[in-house]
Amino acid sequence: MTVRGEKMDLRRYRVPFIVLAMSILVLAAVFAYTWPKEKAPEEALSLRFPTGIPLALGTVSSVNVGEQEFKTISVTGSGSASMQSNEAIVTVGVQTQDESASEAVSLNAERMNQVIDAIKALGITEEDMRTVSYNVYPVYAQNDYNLVVGYRVVNMIEVDMTEMDLIGEVIDAASQNGANVIQGVSFGLSQGQQEDLKEQAYLAALRDAEAKANLIAEQLELTITGVLSVSENYYQPYQPYRDYKLAIAGEALAPTPILEGKLSVSVTVYIVYSFE
């Protein structure tokens, strides 16, 4: 057979081959189209808030607990409480200086005894006073830091007080009888008041969360059925605060007014409610 004859035989089979290939492609397309598709997962419950309710108020969703699914409202509640301080610590001291260390110590002790006696005369017992620091420092010449020219003694005491009206009188009595360092007044709460303050803050946070959940449920026409979880997001305990003052012996001082402030506690809770 000649080359020309072989080419003619190939052309004779080209058309049936093309038809066969096209048939296979059509069958593949039909098969893919009719093959059962995997069912798409159901979308999680997602509801939009009506106009006027901020998104920050809470969220509405669904969660699974074990094999049971719950529709939920998640909210945060914040609360704080404040209370007038009922305890105080007054810190006062005596600073003395002399060329002799023993003389500086002796002079300091004499003045500190006068301070303590003056405070005790106001009805405060010695059990309510304690030494918090006692230091003896060398004093160097200004032009030669290797030359000791004297000694400085600093003696500091704290006075625990529950009679808040006497704070100013304690400061005045101390300064008038030799105390030349008035470091400050620290206000605080008794243990019982601390517990009451914390409880008030937590109750306020829980009420805030409940009010938010009820508002969401009312606007979306839902019925709250229970609480799934409660957790504490933030707790800021009360912090005693200090009012710093300074008195120098020998100055004419007016009576010292002391106005104790309020101490606060802040709490944030996160609550998940179920609804239907």
| CATH number of domain containing 121 | 3.30.70.2970
DSSP assigned state of 246: -
Pairing between strand 68-84 and 181-188? Answer: unpaired
Residue 204 falls inside a structural domain:
no
* Mean pLDDT of the chain, nearest integer: 80
Phi-psi region of 123 (alpha: psi -120 to 50; beta: other; left: phi over 0): left
Residue 122 falls inside a structural domain:
yes
17 and 106 housed in the same domain: no
Residues 6 or more apart whose Cβ sits within 8 Å of residue 205: 77, 78, 79, 267, 268, 269
Domain coverage including residue 20: 1-37
Residues 6 or more apart whose Cβ sits within 8 Å of residue 224: 73, 213, 214, 217, 273, 274, 275
Pairing between strand 262-275 and 224-236? Answer: antiparallel
The whole-number pLDDT of residue 175 equals 92
Residue 78 falls inside a structural domain:
no
Distance of CA 39 to the CA centre of its chain: 48
Model confidence at 230, in pLDDT bands (50, 70, 90)?
very high
Residues 6 or more apart whose Cβ sits within 8 Å of residue 201: 79, 80, 81, 265, 266, 267
Residue 29 falls inside a structural domain:
yes
How many residues are given for the chain? Answer: 276
The CA–CA distances, whole Å, from 98 to 21, 28, 111, 207 equal: 115, 108, 14, 64
Model confidence at 148, in pLDDT bands (50, 70, 90)?
very high
Q: What is the pLDDT of residues 29-82, one digit of tens each?
A: 545 544 454 444 433 333 444 434 444 566 666 565 656 788 899 999 999 999
The whole-number pLDDT of residue 24 equals 60
Q: What is the pLDDT of residues 150-171, one digit of tens each?
A: 999 999 999 999 999 999 999 9
Of 144, 166, 188, which residue is a domain's last? 188
More confident call, 215 vs 237? 215
Of 123, 155, 188, which residue is a domain's last? 188
The whole-number pLDDT of residue 103 equals 97
Q: What is the pLDDT of residues 104-142, one digit of tens each?
A: 999 999 999 999 999 999 999 999 999 999 999 999 998
Q: Domain count for the chain, please give it.
A: 2
More confident call, 167 vs 258? 167
Of 188, 222, 243, which residue is a domain's last? 188
